[in-house]
Amino acid sequence: MTKYNITSAKQWFEIGGNRVHHTAMVNWEQLDIGSGNEIGPYVCIGTDAQHRTEPSEGTILIGDNNIIREYSTVNLPTRFSKITSIGSNCYFMALSHIAHDCVVADNVIFSNNATLGGHVHIMQNAQVGFSATIHQYQVIGSYCMIGMGTVIPRNKKILPGTKWVGNPAKTLGMNDVGLQRAGISEEDLEKEKQHYENISRRLNSHTS
């Protein structure tokens, strides 16, 4: 058996009840974070908004028990909302990108290289597939399934509980399997749709 010289340097640190890899770049001064999170190798949290005219301003909020894998990025917000937010119990696979002023709710899954433009709102229990791209100011409804490589353009209504694939995105109908697994009734889905419309109106009023 080959013997390897393994450094004794500590690879992971416990910070505020969170497991943080030593290569992660975290702007702790502009981060309000819960506990039980894992911040993986080369993750960047709190770098400036990628915006040509607006400087970064505000705070990143992260809840509890999220896993943020290698090379993922979470950008600071701008003056428009002053918050970039991630809920709890989310899983961000390698190279995920959360842009400025985005809101990601609880129990959301990002596959590798999933990318959000600025001001995107991802509702609870949505899944964003490998290399999917979502245009700024979009709202992705709860319990949605966004397929791998899908491009969600501006002003496409991504209602709760639906499935989407392609470039530009086209619907495949309802995410029946996901809704059934989550035990979502028709009444529950109607409430999620109302919540979706409220979020959409708020974002549209901001851009008009």
Other beta carbons within 10 angstroms of residue 201's beta carbon come to 11
Candidates 83, 88, 178; CA nearest to 129 is 178
pLDDT, tens digit, for every residue of 92-117? 999 999 999 999 999 999 999 999 99
Q: How many domains does the chain have?
A: 1
The reply to whether 106 falls in a domain is yes
Range of the domain at 169: 14-207
Return the bridge partners of 98, or none. Answer: 74
Residue position matching structure tokens 């770049």: 25
Other beta carbons within 10 angstroms of residue 155's beta carbon come to 9
Determine the Cα–Cα distance for residues 138 and 99; give it in Å rounded to an integer.
12
Task: Give me the CATH number covering residue 49.
Answer: 2.160.10.10
pLDDT, tens digit, for every residue of 27-72? 999 999 999 999 999 999 999 999 999 999 999 999 999 999 999 9
77 preceded by a cis bond (ω within 30 of 0): no
The reply to whether 7 falls in a domain is no
The reply to whether 112 falls in a domain is yes
Candidates 158, 164, 166; CA nearest to 192 is 158
The reply to whether 9 falls in a domain is no
The reply to whether 6 falls in a domain is no
The reply to whether 35 falls in a domain is yes
pLDDT, tens digit, for every residue of 136-183? 999 999 999 999 999 999 989 999 999 999 999 999 999 999 999 999
3-state secondary structure of 135: coil
The reply to whether 2 falls in a domain is no
The reply to whether 125 falls in a domain is yes
